[in-house]
Amino acid sequence: MAESNSERQRALLRRLMQWLGPFLALLLVMGLFAVLLPDRFLSSYNLRTVATQTVIVGLGALGMTFVIISGGIDLSVGSTIALSSVVTALLLRDGHGPLLALLSALLAGAAVGLCNGLLITRARIVPFIVTLGTMGIARGLAKYLADEQKVNAPAAGLGSLMAKLPEPSWLLLSPGVWALLVLAALSAMLLSRTVFGVHTYAIGSNESTARLCGVPVERRKLVIYTLAGLFAGLAGALQFARLTVGDPTTALGKELDVIAAVVIGGGSLAGGSGGVLGSLLGAFLMAVLANGCTLTGVPNYVQEILVGAIIIVAVAVDRYRHARP
């Protein structure tokens, strides 16, 4: 028993190590800002603001986690967010209810994801190229639907989803943040505790082995990319809720933030590794950094340099950790 105990401890330690890098970085950055701006940064209002600012990239990162673990990439996330936000705005403008608008946003996102999946599995084009293509197509489509301008629409209840101070106040965090947390928990469960999750890791680790073991690789990929689209669709609806305007040029280049979040959280672009908690930490870390830099009045370019450095350091630390058993 002692043996299996120490074994369990080692396994636990290994798992902890995986989160340790991003977690330490987060603590470090938060500690730094807490010292620099003791009352403003750590105020509950500001922390809620940061949490709300994490939602969009965080949702994208959930979907991207599945994609990257399976050995793929999705560059169309930013454009999909824009498309969904425009779809949401158009429906609300035309007098439809918020629920229908939300569902349509999800549908639009899922449709882009499904297209990605179909092109990758049927036409056998590499994910990078497919999603580079749909990145342009979805962005263009959003601009076409919005007539190349911002779509003004009544928020119709959707606005409260991303309110920094939620109604009712006992929610503590805005509904968008809760949605992110609940979906993150579900995604984590899906990844680590279901057959689908095991298959996702297997495909990213070695696709031919997965095929040999009877994993329906194509079907799984279809689901993975559709799921990523679905998350981007929800992010789009919430982006509308935040801006209360459907903007076809919003979230430009957001896919890179999303990919960065996953990579900082331990995801490898070679596939086979990564996790939801890490991705979430990565997304939160970037939001904290953006917020802290704004509060301290550090210019934007410093923030960009910092995020860039963190990505590189995160991957370097990961390499080092993998190099020694």
- Contact positions vs another protein (CB under 8 A): 7, 10-11, 189, 193-195, 197-198, 201-202, 205-206, 208-216, 272-273, 325
Nearer to another protein, 33 or 66 (CB): 66
Chain-centre distance for alpha carbon 232: 8
Task: Tell the smallest beta-carbon distance from residue 89 to another protein (Å).
Answer: 36
Q: Considering the complex, state which of residue 95 and residue 214 has its C-beta at the smaller distance from another protein.
A: 214
Instruction: Give least dist CB 218 to another protein, A.
Output: 9
φ, ψ of residue 151 to 5 degrees: the values are -100, 115
Taking the complex as a whole, the smallest distance from the CB of residue 197 to another protein amounts, in Å, to 8
Whose tokens are 């279809």? That residue is 222
Query: Quick one: which of 82, 29, 111 has its CA closest to 254?
Result: 82
Q: In the chain, which ranges are continuous DSSP H helix?
A: 2-36, 38-41, 44-69, 77-93, 98-121, 127-145, 175-193, 195-205, 207-212, 217-243, 254-264, 276-296, 300-323
Phi-psi category of residue 251: left, alpha or beta, with phi > 0 → left and psi -120 to 50 → alpha: left
Closest contact distance (angstroms) between CB of 12 and another protein is: 11
Question: Closest separation between CB of residue 189 and another protein, Å?
Answer: 7
Alpha carbons 116 and 109: distance in angstroms, whole number: 11
| Cβ nearer to another protein, comparing 209 with 294 | 209
By C-beta, is 44 or 208 nearer to another protein? 208
* Cβ distance to another protein smaller for residue 178 or 196: 196
- For helices 195-205 and 217-243, the axis angle rounded to 10 degrees is 100
Of the pair 7, 148, the CB lying nearest another protein is at: 7
* CA pseudo-torsion sign 183, 185, 190, 191: positive
